[in-house]
A = this chain, B = another copy of it.
Amino acid sequence: MRYPAQHKEETRERIVKAAARWFRREGSEGAAISNLMRDLKLTHGGFYRHFRSKEDLFVEAFTQSLNEIGDEMAAAADRAPKDGQAKALIDEYFSVAHCDDATHGCPLAALAEDVARRARRVRQALISALRSHITRLGAYLPGATEEERTRKAMMLGSGMAGTLSLIRAIPDDDVRRRALDDAKAFYLKAVTQ
């Protein structure tokens, strides 16, 4: 059947948004195209009208995730007073909500190791998107120059992602909650000198 003019673009966006969730939840190998499409009430065959490969989708979904989480983190920082923005970012990152909901959370905490195993060409696209994201959030950190703030944001972001990954692996709820508080204190100290 023929569809209205913008229909294709809308479907494409729906796929990217759903993929951004599936990849973070299941990992890139755990998430299957057919399940993803069924989730959208579509069949898997149609997928290739929108993307050349699963890997192309991964790149777009990763970027989409960065934008989503970037918006949320920026909003949290904007709500805070000027001298408390770094703390607001860190507290948001190690919030119970973010820890318990990897599906809608930071893609670095969910997919960094996957990214590191990709082919060089793919990593170029992924790291490029990440660089924008990091620069964006670096604006909320202390530092004399943008370059210094970006460098700090890269260390802070990747470090927090690693720590959040580990905390998510902790089986005991209470231990996990306490680790979140430890993490907030550790990274706040690390970033504010």
Contacts and interface: CB of A to CB of B under 8 A. Distances in A.
Select the residue from A26, A117, A157, A189 with max chain B CB neighbours within 10 A.
A117
Contacts of A165: 112-113, 115-116, 158, 161-162
A96 to B, nearest CB: 16
Interface in A122-145: 123-124, 126-127, 130
A186 B162 CA distance: 15
A5 interface: no
Contacts of A84: none
Secondary structure of the A contact surface, majority rule: helix
Contacts of A114: 27, 113
A158 B151 contact: no
Select the residue from A112, A115, A127 with max chain B CB neighbours within 10 A.
A112
Contacts of A110: 113
Contacts of A123: 169-171
